[in-house]
Amino acid sequence: MSQHKSYIRMIATMSCIAVQGLLVAVLSTSSVAQDAVSEEPMSDEQLLAAEQRAEELTRQLIQRRQALEELQFEVGIYDQSLIEANTDLANLLLELEDYQGAAEAYEAAFQLERINTGLFSAAQVPLIDALIQAYGKQDDWQEVDDLQELRLHIQDRLYQPGDIRYLQAAQTYGQWKLRTLRENLLQQTTRTRMSNAMDLSEFYERIIEQTGSTEIDNRQLLSLLFDKSQADISLARTIAITPYTAFAGTASRYLTETRCQNVRTANGQLVRQCYNVQVENPRYRQSQQTAKQVELNRHTRAVAATIERLRGIQQTTDLSPVEAERLERDIAQLETESQDILRAARRGRLF
């Protein structure tokens, strides 16, 4: 009983941390020791309420596992009713901060959804979102990235490019990719991040071009344009911190030179012998710097073009005062970031 009480108190304290973020509790089988991370420790009433909540969650967990097993026995392992049962179990495990268990239950629900509704259905998207949350809690960013790719792929099969649901899905995907670039969540090399940033910019460009023949709200277009500009800024920054030696120069890297020398033959005569050698072209490094500058300018110009489009929409769209202020702030931010990169380039600090 003492061990059971200690376990319940530990679960209760973990629940309080998730909700309040106030303290960490270390509990033993014989006593409760509180290690407060805030100025105010939990009162007896708060601890009792937390214990009761933990007992209730534990009871629910046992009940849901039993109900799931009984349902599987009754209807088989592929019945559609198991989707909701697994999802309910996963939601409870998520609340208990058992993120791996939650991910496994969500995965079971997702696979059952695919079996019952096909490879591409709108019902799968909420389950993918739940899986993203569960794996994100574990900092499993590669799994999150794979799920984001799958999420967009499914919605690409469900909706036309101009459909608002597809645009929202594309924006969610783009914002995730931008986060991976900024925080380097996938631990990629600079060259890989630069390539991914370029892919992201081109992805946004395609989405924006596809909306040209559709009825799209200017506010949605503003959001897409701003996100694209963030990808271009990220790419420009990545280019800026990449050594110019990583860029392919336009000049030949090596030159062939002919070198001659006098050598004495076996007969004692002096003869002139010539041979060819390869030497580094002194213009090659300069061409690498030029190549870097060209790439940098290309993407800062892309930001400038986006700013111009944002200004155009600003003048032709009836925005609320709050929307107008936010747009003006976004444009000012883009102009500042772009100018900072260009000023650094002119001072030669980027090379």
3-class secondary structure, 263: strand
In the chain, the DSSP E strands lie at 23-27, 32-36, 254-264, 270-280
Confidence of residue 7 (pLDDT cuts 50, 70, 90): very low
pLDDT score of 351: 52
Count of H-run helices and E-run strands, the chain:
11, 4
Confidence of residue 6 (pLDDT cuts 50, 70, 90): very low
pLDDT score of 134: 96
Cα distance between residue 344 and residue 351, in whole Å: 10
What residue spans define the domains of the chain?
1-75
Question: Does residue 28 register a pLDDT over 60?
Answer: no
Q: Tens of pLDDT along 264-277?
A: 888 888 888 998 99
Cα distance between residue 235 and residue 31, in whole Å: 56
- Say what percent of the chain tops pLDDT 90: 29
3-class secondary structure, 68: helix
Cα distance between residue 309 and residue 316, in whole Å: 11
Average pLDDT over residues 67-91: 86
pLDDT score of 213: 54
Specify whether the CB–CB gap between 14 and 23 falls below 8 A.
no
Sign of CA dihedral 173, 177, 178, 182: positive
Question: Which of residues 255 and 27 earns the better pLDDT score?
Answer: 255
Q: What is the pTM of this model?
A: 0.73
To 10 degrees, what angle do helices 164-183 and 141-158 make?
160
Element (H, E) at 225: helix 218-241
Average pLDDT score, the chain: 81
Average pLDDT over residues 115-120: 92
> Across 36-40, 119-123, 266-270, which has the greatest mean pLDDT?
119-123
Which amino acid would we find at residue 165? R
